[in-house]
Amino acid sequence: MATEEKEQLLDETAGDRPSACRIYGSLIGGDTVLDVDQGALARLLTINPGTPTVARENRQFMLRAARTLAARYGVEQFLDLGCAFPTEDSPNLHEVVRAEQPGARVVYVDVEDEAVAAWRDRLDGAKDVVAVRGAVQDPEGVLGDPRVRAVLDFTRPVALVLTGVFPFVSDADDPWALLGRFRDATCPGSYLVLSHALTSEDWPQGAEEVLRLYREEIQPMYPRPEREVLRFFEGYDLLEPGVVSTPAWRPDEPVAPELVAFKRAVAGVGRRL
């Protein structure tokens, strides 16, 4: 991607529109929304009051998967793409994995200046944990960033973390090819942690209104059928239990059957072949 295109892509996140990143931060319990976000957030919660639960399930899946990879598979390197804002009232990825692997190295990447600034404040010079600005649509820019290369050794296994990111990348940008470029930069034995919203027939009533709200006021969303989510795991061997409803991926406590069956979003972890 040319420099001019990268700058345009990054600049498109600025402006006076509500921010999907800030809204997500609020949904998982943070204090991230600005005045410009309030109206869209209120309408979202009116249309679908269960949205915070889905967002928190996504966040909790990411933390469980990261902890599992560090504790059971010995993974010490994580690249969190589209990391959004840090949380204050619950652990963040680097804190979870360092409880299992004290020397773990983590790079947080987001296209939002505010999120990157919040991470830098939170990290406060932590060794081998950095936050950089970058776009998932620009793999070479992210992978070639000297701050990324200074922390991660791509000759050793790296876990790519993309939770709830590709629903904001259109088919025109070919998210499967983007993922492939990140995958190919990692060595065999690396991992992919991924979650993705499914198409609206899997959602409760009001799904089309939610999608219209995002499309018209926030940022277009592109939920996909499960067969297209499975394509992201090409080149990976899925860990048990495969791609499942987000709360059903290796839960810490038993999950109600209806949550296993209810697939508004799915999640999985794969090991690179």
What is the mean predicted confidence (pLDDT) over 254-265? Answer: 81
What pLDDT score does 255 carry?
Answer: 86
What pLDDT score does 6 carry?
Answer: 39
pLDDT for 16 beyond 90: no
- Give bridge partners of residue 196 from the DSSP assignment: 266
CA proximity to 258, closest of 245, 242, 243, 249: 245
**Residue extents of the structural domains in the chain:** 55-203+220-272
Rounded Cα gap, residues 122 and 73, in angstroms: 27
What pLDDT score does 13 carry?
Answer: 45
DSSP symbols for 112-180: -HHHHHHHHHHHTT-TTEEEEE--TT-HHHHHT-HHHHHH--TTS--EEEEES-GGGS-GGG-HHHHHH
Least confident of 115-129, 139-153, 193-207: 193-207
pTM assigned to the model: 0.92
What pLDDT score does 202 carry?
Answer: 63
- Name the fold adopted by 55-203+220-272: Rossmann fold (3.40.50)
Question: How many CA atoms lie within 13 Å of 85's alpha carbon, on the beta-carbon side?
Answer: 21
pLDDT digits (tens, 9 = 90+) for 243-253: 999 999 999 99
DSSP state, 247?
G
pLDDT digits (tens, 9 = 90+) for 99-125: 999 999 999 999 999 999 999 999 988
